[in-house]
């Protein structure tokens, strides 16, 4: 009887608490209505061109759809075909993971180190050096210069240099030899990697409160490396996260450079990536269901890598 009475008495309190939460939410929405109104155009575009297409792609990955017939549900067949019957996809997946493992961390660390060094320079020199390092990423198809460097005839800079030194006797077909083409694409990708993340790191370094450095000196910070780990990096967590997302996306989405340097498809698929495989089935063969399965796998790889990176960045400064 007592338990029943207690339960009956607690019900209005729970209901009142629920009403209070709803009232508080409505009040917050009303007070912040100007912010939501300003965000509405971006959120609308984001949902229309990002969230909804990702959801449709995920759904289509379970269908056979060639853009001529109505979608036909086939369950997990696209995924089983992808991992069990598509040898080219496995090559593309291996190449993409190799790209991500090499270009992702190396370019991320290089972006931060260059930004850290340049930030110590005077303002005028800093502006010039920032432009020098950032220029390749904003120069459009500037990476085509590497076609001249690795040209397969004796007029190519690399062949001419090595032949003059006597290291090779005849020109090497750099971009037609599967032993070299993947390494060349990785080198070019690293050369282009000082982009938006580099600028974000410089901006983050500029906003660090110098009083924190002075307080750290009082608290026992003895050198620049300790200052970097305990003060600089924790103060830059938003910029570090933004840079990580950008570098992960760039390292997993390699396609244009591979196609420009190695052709499409590359010799023996030596520089084939998941994105070029997606382009093959999505824009050439129009197997949209299968292409959606490829896109879903790529999305899962990026999402998992981002989650892992977030966990690692949370440990900075500990």
Beta carbons of 133 and 121 less than 8 angstroms apart: no
Which is it for strands 72-73 and 63-64: parallel, antiparallel or unpaired?
antiparallel
List the one residue out of 149, 100, 130, 151 whose CA is nearest residue 254.
100
CA 99/CA 92 separation, integer angstroms:
10
Name the percent of the chain lying above pLDDT 70. Answer: 91
Mean pLDDT of 210-217: 73
User: Which pTM was predicted?
Assistant: 0.79
DSSP conformational letter for 75:
T
Which pair of tokens denotes residue 52? 């909804």
Here the tokens at position 294 are 């490829």
- Is pLDDT at 195 greater than 80 in this prediction? no
Arithmetic mean of pLDDT over the chain: 82
pLDDT digits (tens, 9 = 90+) for 30-44: 888 888 888 889 999
Beta bridge partners of 72: 64
Angle of CA points 110, 111, 113, to nearest 5°: 60
Q: Residue 71 forms beta bridges with which residues?
A: none
Q: How far apart are the first and last CA of the chain?
A: 54
- pLDDT tens across 54-91, in order? 899 999 999 999 888 888 999 899 999 999 988 999 99
């Amino acid at each position: 009887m007592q338990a029943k009475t207690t339960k009956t008495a607690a019900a209005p309190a729970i209901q009142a608490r629920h009403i209070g939460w709803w009232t508080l939410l409505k009040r917050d929405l009303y007070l912040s209505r100007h912010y939501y109104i300003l965000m509405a155009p971006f959120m609308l575009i984001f949902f229309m061109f990002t969230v909804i297409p990702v959801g449709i792609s995920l759904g289509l990955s379970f269908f056979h759809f060639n853009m001529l017939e109505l979608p036909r549900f086939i369950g997990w067949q696209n995924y089983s075909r992808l991992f069990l019957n598509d040898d080219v996809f496995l090559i593309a997946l291996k190449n993409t993971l190799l790209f991500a493992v090499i270009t992702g961390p190396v370019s991320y660390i290089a972006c931060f180190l260059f930004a850290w060094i340049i930030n110590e320079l005077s303002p005028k020199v800093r502006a010039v050096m920032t432009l020098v390092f950032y220029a390749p990423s904003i120069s459009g198809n500037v990476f085509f210069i590497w076609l001249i460097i690795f040209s397969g005839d004796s007029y190519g800079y690399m062949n001419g240099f090595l032949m003059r030194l006597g290291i090779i006797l005849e020109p090497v077909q750099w971009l037609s030899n599967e032993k070299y083409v993947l390494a060349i694409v990785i080198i070019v990708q690293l050369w282009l990697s000082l982009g938006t993340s580099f600028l974000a790191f410089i901006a983050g370094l500029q906003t660090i409160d110098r009083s924190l450095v002075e307080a750290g000196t009082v608290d026992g910070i003895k050198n620049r490396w300790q200052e970097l780990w305990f003060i600089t990096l924790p103060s830059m967590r938003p910029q570090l996260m933004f840079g990580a997302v950008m570098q992960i996306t760039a390292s997993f989405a390699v396609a244009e450079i591979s196609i420009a340097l190695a052709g499409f498809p590359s010799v023996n698929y030596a520089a084939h990536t998941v994105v070029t495989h997606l382009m093959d089935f999505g824009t050439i063969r129009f197997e949209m269901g299968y292409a959606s399965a490829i896109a879903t796998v790529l999305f899962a790889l990026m999402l998992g890598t981002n989650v892992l990176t977030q966990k690692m960045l949370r440990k900075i400064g500990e």
